[in-house]
Amino acid sequence: MRLEGKKAIITGAAQGLGRAIALDFAAEGAEMLLADIQGEKVAQVAALIGENGGRAEVVEVDVTDAAQVEAMIQSAIALFGDVDILVNDAGGSGTVGIQHIEDVTEEMWDAQIDLNLKGTFLACKAMVPRMRKRGYGRIVNISSSSAKGNFGALGTSAIRLPYASAKSGIIGFTYQLAKDVARDGIYVNAVMPGFILTEEGARVRGRYEILNENDQANMTSTVPLGRAGRADEVAKAVTFLASDDASYTTGTILEVTGGR
């Protein structure tokens, strides 16, 4: 198992990609602290892992709050002694159907930047000094193909502007932090998911499934592989970057986009 004996923190682990990453980490032998603002939902993920013989503890956290992020790190250290892996998955694109940039409020902008970019910064800021002291660490940030811009049934609303900006910021943040800490034994990479359908009931899947067949076909036609991706396919990429198999890989943005 590629992560046997490793201790990890995964933010945004209650659903979607974070949930899939947690399940894959568990299958690969990692012990985890699963963090999410949705306490009850993330506890269900931890319970599922426990039922299958793994170990996952939970903490409810708002990643935009520095004090809560620090408390999350302290909880992990109290549980495990050390933390080897940090996965920054907490984020979201919002649901408001705004069509024009002039309708994007400062509040919408700030909320997206805080959740998707500031949250990643705060977690890394809290964790890197501890990893540096040990001379070991693996950080995987989650960006999005939205960083390249979106067009089509799920990408036309201007609410994507702050989201795309935040996810693009994660790319630059990852490149720079990787260079800053490379000599400290800390590897920093990011995964860029494309059009991914996660578990039943998830928002993107729901929005896709209510489209007519023609609109669904139009969406998948923009993907060279001709289909939507699965959450487990993204999780496998994260697991690779978090493992010692990626021993010569840092400052990399790994696209899981079907070629899109």
Return the active site residues. Answer: 163
Which residue has tokens 């963090």?
A: 35
* Cβ-based neighbours of 245, under 8 Å, separated by 6 or more: 2
Distance (Å, rounded) from C-alpha 238 to C-alpha 260?
Answer: 19
Between CA 16 and CA 136 the distance in angstroms is 28
Beta strand residue intervals within the chain, DSSP E: 7-11, 31-36, 56-60, 85-88, 137-142, 186-193, 196-197, 229-230, 253-256
Distance CA 87, CA 80 (A): 16
12: which DSSP letter? S
Amino acid occupying residue 132: R
Structure tokens at 52: 């299958």
CA 187 distance to own-chain centroid: 16
Q: Are strands 196-197 and 31-36 parallel, antiparallel or unpaired?
A: unpaired
